[in-house]
Amino acid sequence: MSPRHFFLPTLLICSGLALPLRAADPAPSAESRLRDTLRSTMAQLQTAESDRVAAQAAKADLEQKNKDLAEQLKAVLKQEEADKAAADKTHAALKAQLVVEFAEVAKLKEALAESQAAHARAEAALHAAGETGAKLTLDIRAAQSRADDLFRKNQNLYKLGLEILQRYEKFSLGEALAAKEPFVGSRRARLETEAQDYSDKLREQKSTP
């Protein structure tokens, strides 16, 4: 039962008791005491009512403060959850970016290694080409020198062969008799034929560098 509901019945009871006592005992001292008791009770009831009202107000204030704090806590937790989600998203994005950058760095390292290897191979090929070119130059010079030498020898051989053929072609019957050599008839004809064949063979075998 609330204090307000308790206050009214108590006041009525006390008023009802006061009337018989006043009728039975008209003594001023008893009535005075009763009134004092009633006033004291009513004052206590008023104080209790005031305390109740104050307590209810304090309770309502505390409930409102608790409600406000709960709302603030809810908002803080919601914001914290949103901040955590944003931080997780940023962290995931940074992690993915780092993975991509690491992959790019690995590709660049691989490309650099391949470029260095290709450069080394190119230098080796250039060096080998230089050596090969130098060797080819020497071989060409040697071949040219040999060709020049063969050409000179071939020219000399050709001249010598022509001189021999010319000598045999100009070798007449009188010269053969003077040389005491029997160049007559078919013998001379065969010699001329052999001289012509030898001349043709010399021309065919003549080398040109």
pTM attached to this predicted model: 0.35
Please name the residues in contact with 195: beta carbons below 8 A apart, sequence gap of 6 or more: 165, 168, 169
The mean pLDDT of 184-202, rounded to a whole number, is 63
- Which residues are CB-neighbours of 31 under 8 A, at least 6 positions away? 18, 21, 22, 25
The overall average pLDDT reported for the chain is: 76
Dist CA 114 CA 107 (whole Å): 10
* C-alpha atoms less than 13 angstroms from C-alpha of 39 in its C-beta half-sphere: 6
Task: Note whether residue 149 is domain-resident.
Answer: no
63 assigned to some structural domain: yes
At residue 104 the predicted structure's pLDDT band, cuts being 50, 70 and 90, is confident
pLDDT surpasses 70 at 206: no
**pLDDT (tens digit per residue) in 48-101:** 999 999 999 999 999 999 999 999 999 999 999 999 999 999 989 988 988 998
- Residue 202 in any domain: the answer is no
In total, how many domains does the chain have? 1
Q: What is the pLDDT of residue 6?
A: 46
Q: Is residue 131 part of a domain?
A: no
Would you say residue 40 lies in a domain?
A: yes
- Structural domain includes residue 126: no
- pLDDT reading at 114 higher than 70: yes
pLDDT of 20:
46
Residues of the domain holding 69 = 3-91
Asked whether residue 96 is assigned to any structural domain, the reply reads: no
In a domain, 150, yes or no: no
pLDDT class for 47, splitting at 50, 70, 90? very high
Give residue 195's pLDDT. 64
